Structure 1
């Protein structure tokens, strides 16, 4: 069904925009919440009149969006994730994280108006789209680097584990060697003939 939005809905559309939605979503959420109205003939005429009256306001909104787009420019956001030796990363980058980093730079974009175009699964650059106006989508990049320190720490821990294993192995081998020596000595003693009391009294 077609809905005329009365308010901006992140991820769907902006005020005075006509959007297509599922019947249930439109009738059970958008219309009851006062976020939009059914795009019938009467409401479409009202929209047309409203747009005529708000052309100046819409132009101002568009100018603000254009200013924001210019401010963003060729922005690259840096993220650091734990990575393996093959540069594959552990974890992921979310639109909420991107929105937070943008906010820290004075750029307010709702996470639902942010789209990561490809899955982040390795070190490198990725394309992201920011929907800042119904007529303006601005591209930026995110640069994902590997956490080298965590990789070194992991290698150090592994090395220490290997050393510990070697030490334990050496201790075990030493103990087994001692046990073998004791067993060998006992067997040697048992194989020696015992002298009788008579032999001790009358030595030849």
Structure 2
């Protein structure tokens, strides 16, 4: 019996898949509990259309992320912090500081968890910071840290 799954079912398949299961399992469990519907022509066509729509949506999100990464690559932000005479900051520049400055100066909103800093920036100067915009898509932001007495 063919069943179109409406949600993920362990050891059977994922949402939107068309699976072949035994008649009793399909009728008595999957369909009764609302985890699937009978795999007739209409339901199969609807499932394939939904899959195609989701694929288009994912591709559009990826394209938007690539455009954002290009914008980030071309962007420089300035951050001013208190520093000593030797160029070391009294505090540090964290991913939160970077995202706030990016939004305030350039209007680009990024989640602070997407900023990849191994350690907070503690010196005056120029630094390259990686920002993950999508899975496998990374933009490199130039951060210029200026010290003030």
Same-fold call, TM cutoff 0.5: yes
3-state SS, counterpart of residue 109 of structure 1 = coil
Return closer, same or farther for 1:52/1:42 CA change in 2, 3 Å cut-off. farther
Alignment of 1:51-70 (within 5 A): 52-70=52-70
Please say if residues 93 and 122 of structure 2, whose CA atoms lie closer than 8 Å, have aligned partners that are also in contact.
no
C-alpha displacement of 1:53:
4.2
Alignment of 1:95-110 (within 5 A): 95-104=95-104, 105-110=106-111
Q: Does structure 2 retain, via aligned residues, the 8 Å contact 1:89–1:123? A: yes
TM-score between the two structures when normalised by the length of structure 2: 0.62
Task: Note if 1:91 corresponds to 2:91.
Answer: yes
Would you tell me which structure has more helix in proportion to its own residues? 1
CA distance in 1: counterparts of 2:101 and 2:124, whole angstroms: 19
**1:74-89 to 2 correspondence within 5 Å?**
74-89=74-89
CA RMSD of aligned residues (A): 2.5
How many residues were matched structurally? 111
Is the Cα–Cα contact under 8 Å of residues 116 and 127 in structure 1 kept in the other structure?
no
Which one scores higher on RCO, CA 8 angstroms, separation ≥ 6? Answer: 2
Matching residue of 1:46:
15
Structure 1 gap segments, 5+ residues each? 1-36, 151-204
Question: When the two structures are superposed, what TM-score results if normalisation uses the length of structure 1?
Answer: 0.47
Aligned pairs (5 A) from 1:1-204: 40-43=10-13, 45-46=14-15, 52-104=52-104, 105-147=106-148, 150=149
- C-alpha displacement at 1:91, in angstroms? 0.9
Residue deviations 1:81-105 (CA, integer Å, cap 9, x gap): 1111211111111211211122222
